[in-house]
Every structure is written in structure tokens, then in C-alpha cells.
């Protein structure tokens, strides 16, 4: 099947049985009810009509005192922007809604801890040219845009996302491409930001085309939250043609909660797969959003149905103003313990801490080794039943 045959959520019936489709609710339009289809399904209209002001927010939800205070206090430091699509997923009355927590400022953002950092992963330090982080031997992180459809309150790159002065200019993109051309050990390029799908199609085509001309570049990855916060972007045939043209492309996206797995999201991920992309997901472990094994299990099962492979659960970084989202590491380990063995390995992402100061990702896993004595290894399984394994003596 071709992505050109699957353009609407109705077309999904050509691929998926009814009981699968029913797991993905059809989202409404919230306060944008009555918007013409030609506008609603236009990603540029979605960007132009983002909820960015308190009066607009008040139309979408019953804003609490905390949220109102937080808007005044926080939005200068980190703006608010919620796409019409994503805003329609928010619960009007429940401030505990997981979509609302990711979108609406909270006064806790003003609480900067001594251990918080503006750039916890030291991405700026490891930049040989502005806008490109080269830390690992064979791969680079290439910032193509500093804008995102939705500004996530838990963002680890608050220091630059939506900051016009830090925006990726043409000159910066050229410098990044030049560095990659000259640096033969770069085999893998993560095109990220911000969100590179905020760029116009010609620019995306140009960047991917230039990368594909470089013979030592094998893997091209796109880091984008569009499939979650603006899946309508993937209705654009022109974009899909570009992605199809520059294969192989691996897309990494960012879903945090089952509520984000809508029929529109299913359409977006289906079209990405049909255009030849693999899609993986990076979840951030967020207190009172998804710090619970049942939520994580449900999310990862829905992701697999959308052919999105759960890839990472990130321990929340030490970025400034997001400490209220952080859980203890033991919470992440407990979630993994409750998933491993109880569901297929396909649904289990790596749980990682991106080490503060730029040491890279460190995987964490519950300990399944009970004892190790000489060549005798006692292991426990997911039900805590012990088994002995004898290693070779030499
Ligand atoms: S999409 Fe990613 S980079 Fe953009 S605001 Fe959200 S977390 Fe930050």
C-alpha cells in the first residue's frame, strides 16, 4: 500500500480491523469546533492558531488560580504555545489532565533548584560549530529548527526552544552541513531541534538531500514531536514524498500518555511507515503524568499498534524549572519491573538517565542477578522465581 491511498482517518479502515481502530478515539476540535476542514487539516493554520495567550486559554479550559498565576509568572521565561489539535485533547475541568500538565504553565516552574542547569546535557559545550553537537564518535545532533508546534512544559531544551535569538539560521545550517561533510567519522545524523518538521518542505528536502549526498553518512534520523502534538503535519503528501525520496529515514517521536494516541496519530504514524520510515518513541518519565506501570503499559501497547517501537523512557533531566515533573529513579525501575515478563519485549523501552554534564545515556535495569559465585549464577525471573545457570569454567 502507498501513503497516497491513506489520506484520511476513514482510509485507515482499508488497513486495520474495527477492533484495532476503536482503540484510537477520534479527537474533537474543542474550542475550534466549526473550523472548516481545509483549515483544520492545514498544518500552517494549526501553527498560526496556537493557543498562546491567557484569554485564549480561558476559552479552552477552566483555568485554575495556579494556572493563571503561572501564566503571568512563567510565560515570559518559557512561552506557552498549544496547537488547536492538542488543545482539544485537554480536559476542560481537570487540572490533573496529563495533556494539560504538559501544555499549561505551572507555578512550580519558577522553582529553580540549586542542582538545576540551563543545559544539563552540556549540548552547547560539545559544539564544534554552532547548532551541532558532536559527542559520540560516529554520530551528531544537528539542530535544524528551534521552533516546535507545542511548547512542552517539561522540555529539556527550554534554553533555546522558541527563542528567536537562538533560532537555527541558514548560515548555521550550512555550517553544520559543512562540518558533517568534512568529518568522515560521522555515520549517523540526528536532525532535531526544536522540531525539524516546523521547517517548510523545501528546507527539509534540502537538508535531507544534502545529507544523502554525503557518502559517509549512513543513518539519518529525524527527532520530531509532530506525530503527537501536530499529527496533521503528516497529512501533507509533499512532506511524505520528501521522506520517501531520502530513505532510509528513522523517525523518533515523543508520546508520553495513552491519551495522545488518537485516530489522527494513528494516521500520521501509518503514513510515516508507508513512506518507508521506521518510527521509534522516546517517553519522558513525568510525575503525575505517566509515572505508573499501567499507564506505561497501555501507552507502549498502543504505540506498537501504531507500529511505533518504544525506544527510551528518559529519566527527567535536571533542566531548570521542571523539578516538579521529576520522579525518583526507583519509580522508573519499578515500572520496568512491572513490565518485563508481563508483556512482550517489543513493548519495553530502555530506561535511561542522560547523564548530567554530558556523559551520555546510561541504561538502568532492575537487578535480576541474585548471586554470582564462581561459575554458578543464580538469576531471578519476573515472578521472582530463582534459576541457576552454570557458566563455562574456562
Ligand atoms: S517537542 Fe521536544 S523540543 Fe519541542 S518543546 Fe516539546 S520537548 Fe521541547
Pocket test for ligand 1, best of 104, 133, 147, 151 (most atoms within 8 A of CB): 151
Is residue 136 flagged as an active site residue? yes
Say what the pLDDT of residue 208 is: 98
Residue 66, pLDDT above cutoff 80: yes
Q: C-alpha grid cell for residue 63?
A: 483555568
Is residue 291 flagged as an active site residue? no
Of 153, 157, 233, 259, the active-site residue reads 157
Are residues 258 and 223 both part of a single domain? yes
Distance CA 146, CA 162 (A): 6
User: pLDDT, tens digit, for every residue of 261-291?
Assistant: 999 999 999 999 999 999 999 999 999 999 9
Is the CB of residue 157 below 6 angstroms from any atom belonging to ligand 1? yes
360 Cβ neighbours under 8 A, 6+ residues apart: 135, 136, 354
Are residues 82 and 219 both part of a single domain? no
**pLDDT grade, residue 229 (50/70/90)?**
very high
- Give me the number of domains the chain comprises: 2
Say what the pLDDT of residue 166 is: 58
Is residue 96 one of the residues assigned to a domain?
Answer: yes
Are residues 102 and 143 both part of a single domain? no
Q: Tell me the pLDDT of the chain averaged across its residues.
A: 94
Of 42, 97, 143, 152, the active-site residue reads 152
CB 279 within 8 A of CB 251: yes
**pLDDT grade, residue 325 (50/70/90)?**
very high
Residue 94, pLDDT above cutoff 90: yes
Is residue 15 one of the residues assigned to a domain?
Answer: no
Say what the pLDDT of residue 143 is: 93
Are residues 347 and 211 both part of a single domain? yes
Is the CB of residue 148 below 6 angstroms from any atom belonging to ligand 1? yes
For the segment 16-39, the average pLDDT, to the nearest whole number, is 97
Is residue 9 one of the residues assigned to a domain?
Answer: no
Residue 150, pLDDT above cutoff 90: yes
pTM for this model (two decimals): 0.96
Distance CA 320, CA 327 (A): 15
Is residue 76 flagged as an active site residue? no
Are residues 313 and 358 both part of a single domain? yes
Is residue 380 flagged as an active site residue? no
Of 155, 198, 261, 277, the active-site residue reads 155
Residue 77, pLDDT above cutoff 70: yes
The alpha carbon of 152 and the centre of ligand 1 are apart by a number of angstroms equal to: 5
Distance CA 161, CA 154 (A): 12
User: pLDDT, tens digit, for every residue of 167-225?
Assistant: 667 889 999 999 999 999 999 999 998 899 999 999 999 999 999 999 999 999 999 99
Say what the pLDDT of residue 167 is: 61
Is the CB of residue 70 below 6 angstroms from any atom belonging to ligand 1? no
For the segment 326-334, the average pLDDT, to the nearest whole number, is 97
Q: Which atom of ligand 1 is nearest to the CA of 225?
A: 1
Of 136, 169, 184, 187, the active-site residue reads 136
The alpha carbon of residue 317 and the mean position of all alpha carbons in its chain are separated, in whole angstroms, by 14
Query: Helices in the chain by DSSP H: which ranges?
Result: 18-21, 37-40, 43-48, 54-60, 65-74, 84-87, 98-103, 170-182, 201-213, 226-229, 237-245, 263-274, 293-305, 329-339
**pLDDT grade, residue 305 (50/70/90)?**
very high
Is residue 4 flagged as an active site residue? no
Residue 394, pLDDT above cutoff 90: no
Is the CB of residue 155 below 6 angstroms from any atom belonging to ligand 1? yes
**pLDDT grade, residue 78 (50/70/90)?**
confident
The alpha carbon of 223 and the centre of ligand 1 are apart by a number of angstroms equal to: 10
* Residue predicted with more confidence, 296 or 123: 296
The alpha carbon of 157 and the centre of ligand 1 are apart by a number of angstroms equal to: 7
Are residues 286 and 139 both part of a single domain? yes
Are residues 60 and 180 both part of a single domain? no
Are residues 141 and 284 both part of a single domain? yes
CATH value at residue 299: 3.20.20.70
Domain that holds residue 243: 132-364
Place of cell 518513541: 281
Amino acid at each position: 500500500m502507498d501513503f497516497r491511498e491513506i489520506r484520511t482517518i476513514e482510509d485507515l479502515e482499508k488497513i486495520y480491523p474495527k477492533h484495532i481502530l476503536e482503540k484510537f478515539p477520534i479527537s474533537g476540535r474543542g474550542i475550534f469546533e466549526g473550523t472548516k476542514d481545509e483549515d483544520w487539516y492545514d498544518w500552517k493554520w494549526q501553527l498560526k492558531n496556537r493557543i498562546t495567550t491567557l484569554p485564549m486559554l480561558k476559552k479552552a479550559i477552566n483555568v485554575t488560580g495556579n494556572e493563571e498565576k503561572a501564566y503571568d509568572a512563567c510565560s515570559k521565561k518559557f512561552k506557552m504555545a498549544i496547537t488547536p489539535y492538542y488543545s482539544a485533547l485537554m480536559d476542560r475541568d481537570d487540572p490533573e489532565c496529563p495533556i494539560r500538565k504538559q501544555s499549561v504553565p505551572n507555578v512550580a516552574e519558577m522553582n529553580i533548584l540549586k542542582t538545576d542547569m540551563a543545559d544539563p546535557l552540556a549540548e552547547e559545550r560539545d559544539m564544534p560549530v554552532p547548532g551541532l553537537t558532536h559527542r559520540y564518535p560516529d554520530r551528531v545532533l544537528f539542530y535544524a529548527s528551534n521552533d516546535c508546534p507545542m511548547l512542552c512544559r517539561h522540555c529539556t531544551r527550554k534554553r533555546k526552544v522558541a527563542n528567536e535569538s537562538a533560532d537555527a539560521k541558514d548560515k548555521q545550517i550550512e555550517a553544520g552541513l559543512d562540518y558533517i561533510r568534512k568529518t568522515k567519522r560521522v555515520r549517523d545524523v540526528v536532525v532535531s531541534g526544536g522540531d525539524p518538521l516546523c521547517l517548510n518542505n523545501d528546507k527539509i528536502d534540502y537538508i535531507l538531500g544534502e545529507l544523502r549526498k554525503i557518502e559517509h553518512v549512513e543513518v539519518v534520523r529525524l527527532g520530531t514531536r509532530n506525530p503527537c502534538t501536530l499529527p496533521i503535519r503528516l497529512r501533507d503528501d509533499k512532506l511524505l514524498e520528501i521522506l520517501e525520496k531520502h530513505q532510509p529515514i528513522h523517525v523518533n517521536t515523543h508520546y508520553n500518555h495513552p491519551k495522545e494516541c488518537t485516530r489522527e496519530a494513528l494516521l500520521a504514524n501509518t503514513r510515516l511507515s508507508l513512506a518507508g520510515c521506521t518510527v521509534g518513541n522516546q517517553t519522558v518519565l513525568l510525575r503525575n503524568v505517566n509515572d505508573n506501570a499501567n499507564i506505561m503499559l497501555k501507552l507502549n501497547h498502543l504505540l506498537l499498534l501504531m507500529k511505533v517501537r518504544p525506544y527510551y523512557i528518559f529519566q527527567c533531566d535536571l533542566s531548570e524549572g521542571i523539578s516538579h515533573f521529576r520522579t525518583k529513579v526507583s519509580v522508573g525501575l519499578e515500572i520496568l519491573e512491572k513490565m518485563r515478563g508481563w508483556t512482550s519485549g517489543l513493548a519495553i523501552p530502555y530506561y535511561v538517565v542522560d547523564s548530567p554534564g554530558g556523559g551520555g545515556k546510561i541504561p538502568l535495569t532492575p537487578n535480576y542477578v541474585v548471586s554470582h559465585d564462581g561459575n554458578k549464577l543464580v538469576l531471578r525471573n519476573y515472578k521472582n522465581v530463582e534459576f541457576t545457570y552454570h557458566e563455562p569454567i574456562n
